[in-house]
Amino acid sequence: MARRIYFAVVVLVLAGLLGWFVFSTNHPSSKYAIKLGLDLAGGTELVYKADTSQIATDKAGALNSLQSVIERRVNLFGVAEPLVQVEYANAATHQAEDRLLVELPGVTNLQAAETAIGQTPVLSFELEATSTAPATERVPVTVNPKTGAMEINTASATPATTTPQYIPTGLTGAYLKSASLQFSNGSGNVAANTPVVDLTFNPQGAALFNKITSENVGRTLAIFLDGQLIEAPVIQEAIPDGNAQITGQFTPAQARALVQNLNFGALPVPITLESSDIVGPTLGGVALHAGLMAGIIGFVLVALFMILWYRLPGLVSIIALTIYILISIAIIKVVPITLTASGIAGLIISLGIAVDANVLIFERMKEELRSGKGPREAAHIGFGRAWPAIRDGHLTMLVSAIILFWLGTSIVQGFALVFGFGIVTSLISAVFISRLFLFAILPEKGGKVWRFLTGSGYHF
């Protein structure tokens, strides 16, 4: 008995510290402040269509690279807590195309949101089809003896007469490690102090670049940026080190802008804006207020019912439920989970499920009390008989939450994530914390007072 009381006091102290953490980190400047989603904080949602038709292999890798690039691009413009998420084509959800979802909380100007994303360039290297003569300039590719880098020069270009056709090589901005601005020292066919852009590929890109140049000597390798032809040099020899140099007719400002765009936004696949939606801060504030009021009213009504109907066990369940809420909010803060209106709904529903588990336990207790057993023995048997139903119910709901998160859209995923965490937390609060508190206060045998306090409904 004393041991159970000791553990109950420890849990209460820990709950108090948890409550202090939750309430002391509520101010917006805190590291653990709750991050509100677009529907609560207001902002802009942009949905882009990703064109993956030219990617034969590793489409998922290209889309993940696209996501990382857009995240860097948005962060570069100082947008607070952006959400960039890939939604894959999925027959089960009737989504026929790969999409990129970009949420920008606090940005309510659509033009400003599109500017934040920016005109991110798509860099690609394509081989000229052998059956078609080139219509653009054919420029020799040489290797700088000092740097070992490929040099591309348009000075000795000769115009062609027909429109060329180009074949994607698979070498795109996804393989670009870095780009840098340099000024030519006058070697080769490049005038001194001419702005040039040095490209360095990652190991995979360097290997692919080596393969392309070694297997296609004498063919034209065109460089496209956003679908526009930048250079069309002729491969003179294999280039194994993964370095290339673009020496187009750039001004220093143009070359600097190109380097910045390539470093912060060279997209592996093209994207086009499919839809946009703006949520005003007033509408978001109304949604947040409504969600919080729904949670408070629901908690108060549940507390009144549990205490009036189940008396002392009901009071214990409300204490455990309060701890459940503190744990859930702490998880949302620490993980962190961006809280949306659907997430609030998931939290409220899991709150009801936590109470439902207590109802099962207390109803079993009531049956044992009516058969003449003491309060503690009735509680012990009640928990034992209710546990299989509670376990199976929580397990099936957890599976449902996982499926919703796996197949659902971003709105459904917000609900499923909070709901899933709530299911696990409610199992802890409804079974283990309630059990600990009840066994700490219930006597082995009790008189009429204890039978009244542990009874329920109209049973005394």
**pLDDT score recorded for residue 14:** 92
Residue 320 · residue 429 · CB < 8 Å: yes
Tell me how long the chain is.
460
Counting Cβ atoms within 10 Å, is residue 144 exposed (0-12), middle (13-18) or buried (19+)?
middle
Can you read off the two tokens belonging to residue 205?
Answer: 């890109």
313-330 exposure pattern, b = at least 16 Cβ within 10 A, e = fewer? bbebbbbbbbbbbbbbbb
Fold type of domain 2-36+280-454: Multidrug efflux transporter AcrB transmembrane fold (1.20.1640)
Residue 74 · residue 44 · CB < 8 Å: no
Give the CA angle between residues 223, 228, 234 to the nearest 5°. Answer: 30
Can you read off the two tokens belonging to residue 192?
Answer: 């001194």
Q: How many CB atoms lie within 10 A of CB 168?
A: 15
Listed by start position, the domains of the chain span 2-36+280-454, 42-120+273-278, 123-262
Fold type of domain 42-120+273-278: Alpha-Beta Plaits (3.30.70)
**pLDDT score recorded for residue 66:** 79
**pLDDT score recorded for residue 7:** 86
Helix (H) or strand (E) segment spanning residue 45 = strand 43-50
**pLDDT score recorded for residue 278:** 80
**pLDDT score recorded for residue 80:** 59
Q: How far is it, in rounded angstroms, from Cα 177 to Cα 266?
A: 10
Q: Please, which residues bridge with residue 46 across strands? A: 102, 276
For each of the chain's 460 residues, which pLDDT tens digit applies?
Answer: 678 888 888 989 999 999 999 888 888 778 888 888 777 777 888 888 888 777 766 777 778 777 877 776 676 556 656 778 888 877 665 667 888 888 887 777 777 677 666 555 677 889 988 754 444 443 444 444 444 444 444 444 444 445 678 888 888 877 888 888 888 776 666 677 788 888 888 888 899 989 998 998 888 888 887 677 777 778 878 888 888 877 666 788 877 877 766 665 556 777 888 888 887 766 667 877 888 888 888 889 888 988 888 888 889 889 988 998 899 889 888 888 878 888 888 888 888 888 888 888 888 888 888 887 888 888 888 888 888 888 888 899 999 999 988 887 667 887 888 888 888 888 888 778 888 888 888 877 767 777 777 777 665 5
Q: Considering only CA atoms, give the Rg of the chain.
A: 32
- CA-to-CA separations, 41 to 22, 35, 80, 287, 389, in angstroms, rounded: 20, 9, 11, 9, 39
Q: Please, which residues bridge with residue 224 across strands? A: 124, 229
Strand 271-279 to strand 43-50: parallel, antiparallel, or no bridges (unpaired)? antiparallel
**pLDDT score recorded for residue 231:** 72
**pLDDT score recorded for residue 76:** 57
Give the CA angle between residues 452, 455, 457 to the nearest 5°. Answer: 110
Domain 123-262 coded CATH 3.40.50.300: no
**pLDDT score recorded for residue 158:** 44
Q: What is the dihedral of CA 427, 430, 432, 436, to 10 degrees?
A: 170
**pLDDT score recorded for residue 142:** 44
389 contact partners, CB below 8 Å, separation of at least 6: 360
Which 3 state secondary structure label does DSSP give 95? strand
